[in-house]
Structure 1
């Protein structure tokens, strides 16, 4: 009898495993009406949005790949990716990770949870893993739904890259999927910041808003003319560095740096949240984790991490200033124009030419030549020249450029009208969008990552 009672007592005091705690926390999360609503929205709304926009007469041409939503279904998922990195993913991480610990403070259920699990370490692991699972489910919904909506509405057609070259449908699908995978790294960084805010600030609403505020601050920083080393060293840069996948050759340097920096942020913020959680006094009902320790153990280490990553990136890359220089702009514009000129040639059923035969070059200045030809701005002007076989006179075209601080530019045709003067061109099969009227491009901020 004594042995039986001892066995029952031992079984009753056995700690709950991480796997069991994870399942419990996951059920708690998905049982919340707002989480269920987010899951349904992420798996349904993107498809409807992309399909509806793709059928409109006016497209979001100010959005990357927005001008190609009529031409291919893969443009829609990339438009959605740009929107998600700016707004959706920061808000989703705030709702999920930013509330996973604070909800226990609001409900006053920490004592019950500790009695049931008997291990703060396992509680932290279960909550972190369950929130990560839900976030991955939401990101997967955004990617799959937007891709399906675009392909069903428009079709599985080739996609024009950021340097004007044409990606085959399988290549476009693979790179679109890879772009969504790449933004998981900064999403994990924001989720880790949400965990840190939820632990450090307790029931305070600032913990819930922290990932969104950090993301907004990083977006504002990307809009400023900061040195390229500072821009690339921020985890938010990975939300836009996937653009480099859609050039040939791919501009992988900034993307890889952004992913590594984001993962370092994710590990650091999660470790800080873990340490703060283990040091918390759960016997004090008035202690919800907020206070001066949240600043010293939470904010200051992340500020120091920014300084370290900026120093490492500055030492590892030769780029200085904004990274936007005259020769880079000229090379990017000429390359994109040559690819798109061939596309227009095929539309008009003219004899095909190669990029080598065209020998396209660009001469660009800023501010009418009165300013140094470097840095972002909407006052860039480029004159493109090219040659056709058996034609002595060189062709020329003028473009006005708006170059943003992250290296993306929009080239707007300014004549001659036969080349880039009209939105549509007459083809043997009817009117079609003129690829040379307006086009997007990307200036690589780190020149050493590009070959040839």
Structure 2
């Protein structure tokens, strides 16, 4: 008994010395460890390989085809310039690829420890839940940025090698020099990092709140799908811009003259706000969890308190903030805006067609293009989206007394993008191909894309 009593203080002192000399692992070391864990997974390696190779092969293959994805923004110009391909890939990535990438990378970064029951080992090694959270979040962020950069670089290289470094026709029909196109394309890819980070933060929150449940892995994809469906509805502009995924759409404002930056900047700010709030909620939920319970399977009621309700409140706050900061709370689409947009795009493209056909040069000031548009043949109000818009576009040529006229049928989506389909005369927009000095080329006025600036206000008469 005496020996035991004498030994106990010595053992306690030794244990205290060991505990006092043990320090939590630094965030940098934990970050490297988590990054190696992610990259060692075969599915992550496959994603990196696909993101750095598949876009180049896709753009090169499609650019060589006779049929182009003309229903995709900038798809009709993939034969004309190598800078159109990266924008086509960007449109697809914002809708499908990037939400799925965030699901696979960050949607499983915490849940994987629950499935394998390795939290105790990780806590013994790192000794700090806060550092574990920081290391995992930073490693997931690094990998997502790497994948986005791979998509951008691969699609650019594929387009330039397949088609070449040529001018790009902008969203409103104006021509961008190759250097300008390069800068805008790279800037557009940089802008979509904001909504991607918002989805990644939501994925972190789902991975922590739902534990080993597969719903945590699928949560970012479901959120992205819900936002896509919402963008198809005739929502007020304030609600549309308050959704964290709107920056996946608003980057097309970079390709107008002048650039439509207000919707883009608002949507980026909203996305970053969602990323910060969702990450903070994930952190608060993580440091409060019970790591001693091996059967832990999600936060239960706390998932609602720390996840669903705060994000719903954030949506209400952003909707209110955008509604106060912007002049439009309706659809943002009216007759005056449609007429200005259609006339501007037609004027740019008419000059392009003039150059292709070697006609006498004409300026837009000389053309004096105007448009008269109505919706539903005058049977409905000339506001809102729909495929029943009709525009009669008029222009003037120097030395010609009679004004030229062309008819277009417009299909305007709820986000303001439209496709104008020519309906005569045949000399202007009646044929898909025009005969140029270099051979047959797509007629730029046969069908063209355009957009209504939702936040702009119609001029008062």
Give the TM-score normalised by structure 2: 0.95
> Post-superposition shift, 1:430?
1.7
SS at match of 1:98: coil
Compare 438-447 and 289-298 and name the one that shifted more.
289-298
1:87 matched to 2:85? The reply is no
Q: Distance in 2 between matches of 1:118 and 1:237?
A: 40
Q: 2:277 aligns with which of 225, 245, 268?
A: 268
Over residues 40-74 of structure 1, what are the superposed CA-to-partner deviations in whole Å (9 max), with x where a residue is unaligned? 00000000000000000000000000000000000
Over residues 159-186 of structure 1, what are the superposed CA-to-partner deviations in whole Å (9 max), with x where a residue is unaligned? 0001110000010010000000000000
1:358 matched to 2:348? The reply is no
Query: Are the aligned partners of 1:253 and 1:449 in contact in 2 as well (CA < 8 Å)?
Result: no
Query: Are the aligned partners of 1:25 and 1:130 in contact in 2 as well (CA < 8 Å)?
Result: yes
Q: How many residues align?
A: 448
Q: Distance in 2 between matches of 1:261 and 1:201?
A: 25
Q: Distance in 1 between matches of 2:143 and 2:149?
A: 10
Deviation >6 Å, runs of 4+: 5-8
Q: How does 1:59-208 map to 2 (within 5 A)?
A: 59-208=68-217
Q: 2:328 aligns with which of 302, 319, 327?
A: 319
Compare 426-435 and 102-111 and name the one that shifted more.
426-435
SS at match of 1:193: helix
1:308 matched to 2:314? The reply is no
Q: Distance in 2 between matches of 1:391 and 1:132?
A: 61
> Post-superposition shift, 1:10?
6.3
1:371 matched to 2:385? The reply is no
Equivalent position of 1:16 in the other structure: 25
Query: Are the aligned partners of 1:22 and 1:130 in contact in 2 as well (CA < 8 Å)?
Result: yes
Q: How does 1:379-398 map to 2 (within 5 A)?
A: 379-398=388-407
Task: Please provide the CA RMSD for this pair.
Answer: 1.6
Query: Are the aligned partners of 1:251 and 1:449 in contact in 2 as well (CA < 8 Å)?
Result: no
Over residues 298-344 of structure 1, what are the superposed CA-to-partner deviations in whole Å (9 max), with x where a residue is unaligned? 00000010000000111111113100111000000000000000000
Q: Structure 2 regions of 5+ residues with no counterpart?
A: 1-10
Q: Distance in 1 between matches of 2:358 and 2:364?
A: 17
Equivalent position of 2:8 in the other structure: none
Equivalent position of 2:438 in the other structure: 429
Q: Distance in 2 between matches of 1:440 and 1:117?
A: 55
SS at match of 1:379: strand
Q: Distance in 2 between matches of 1:52 and 1:283?
A: 54
> Post-superposition shift, 1:12?
5.6
Compare 6-15 and 178-187 and name the one that shifted more.
6-15
Q: Distance in 2 between matches of 1:239 and 1:46?
A: 18
Q: 1:225 aligns with which of 212, 222, 234?
A: 234
Larger radius of gyration: 2
> Post-superposition shift, 1:7?
11
> Post-superposition shift, 1:449?
12
Q: Distance in 2 between matches of 1:114 and 1:271?
A: 21
Query: Are the aligned partners of 2:114 and 2:296 in contact in 1 as well (CA < 8 Å)?
Result: no
Q: Distance in 2 between matches of 1:269 and 1:217?
A: 17
Q: 2:447 aligns with which of 434, 438, 446?
A: 438
Q: Distance in 1 between matches of 2:439 and 2:211?
A: 62
Q: Distance in 1 between matches of 2:252 and 2:444?
A: 19
> Post-superposition shift, 1:14?
1.4
Query: Are the aligned partners of 2:417 and 2:449 in contact in 1 as well (CA < 8 Å)?
Result: yes
- From the superposition, tell whether residues 11 and 140 of structure 1 become closer, same or farther in structure 2 (CA, over 3 Å): farther
Query: Are the aligned partners of 2:191 and 2:247 in contact in 1 as well (CA < 8 Å)?
Result: yes
Equivalent position of 2:297 in the other structure: 288
- From the superposition, tell whether residues 449 and 313 of structure 1 become closer, same or farther in structure 2 (CA, over 3 Å): farther
Query: Are the aligned partners of 2:245 and 2:271 in contact in 1 as well (CA < 8 Å)?
Result: yes
> Post-superposition shift, 1:433?
1.0
> Post-superposition shift, 1:8?
8.2
Q: Distance in 2 between matches of 1:427 and 1:89?
A: 40
> Post-superposition shift, 1:290?
2.8
Equivalent position of 1:216 in the other structure: 225
SS at match of 1:447: coil
Q: 1:45 aligns with which of 50, 54, 61?
A: 54
Equivalent position of 1:344 in the other structure: 353
- From the superposition, tell whether residues 42 and 8 of structure 1 become closer, same or farther in structure 2 (CA, over 3 Å): farther
